[in-house]
């Protein structure tokens, strides 16, 4: 990477951060500046096709407005409730999961 800011981010992260599932002294990483759909971009503007879906947790792509709006709506309503409590969203999700897997 040629971008000074991107290189500085990598340097800080490698010196002081922790990368999971990696031998820390051998981490080879890049700093990501932005994302869009199934692509991410480094600070040099290089475009990468995300075949790993960021380890499968964003397989719908980046920047999906429907998902962003749902996250914002839920965060405004209640950003977090402990796992020992019930919320309407959890109950509805439970029903949906049971319905899908009991076919």
The model's pLDDT over 15-43, given as tens digits with 9 standing for 90+, comes to 999 998 899 999 999 999 999 988 999 99
Question: If pLDDT is split at 50, 70 and 90, which confidence band does 75 have?
Answer: very high
List the domains of the chain with CATH numbers: 1-63 (3.90.1150.10), 64-103 (no CATH)
Mean pLDDT of 45-66: 84
In Å, how far are 16, 51, 77, 91, 98 from 64, measured between CA atoms? 32, 17, 20, 24, 26
Q: What is the number of helices (H) and of strands (E) in the chain? A: 4, 3
Residue 25 and residue 100: Cα distance in Å, rounded? 44
């Amino acid at each position: 990477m040629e971008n000074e800011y991107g290189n500085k981010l990598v340097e800080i992260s490698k010196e002081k951060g922790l990368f999971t599932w990696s031998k820390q002294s051998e981490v080879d990483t890049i700093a990501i500046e932005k994302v869009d759909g199934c692509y991410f971009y480094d600070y040099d503007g290089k475009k990468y096709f995300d075949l790993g879906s960021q380890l499968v947790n964003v397989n719908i792509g980046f920047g999906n407005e429907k998902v962003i709006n749902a996250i914002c709506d839920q965060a405004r309503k209640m950003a977090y409730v402990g796992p020992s409590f019930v919320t309407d969203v959890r109950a509805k999700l439970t029903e949906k999961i049971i319905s899908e897997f009991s076919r």
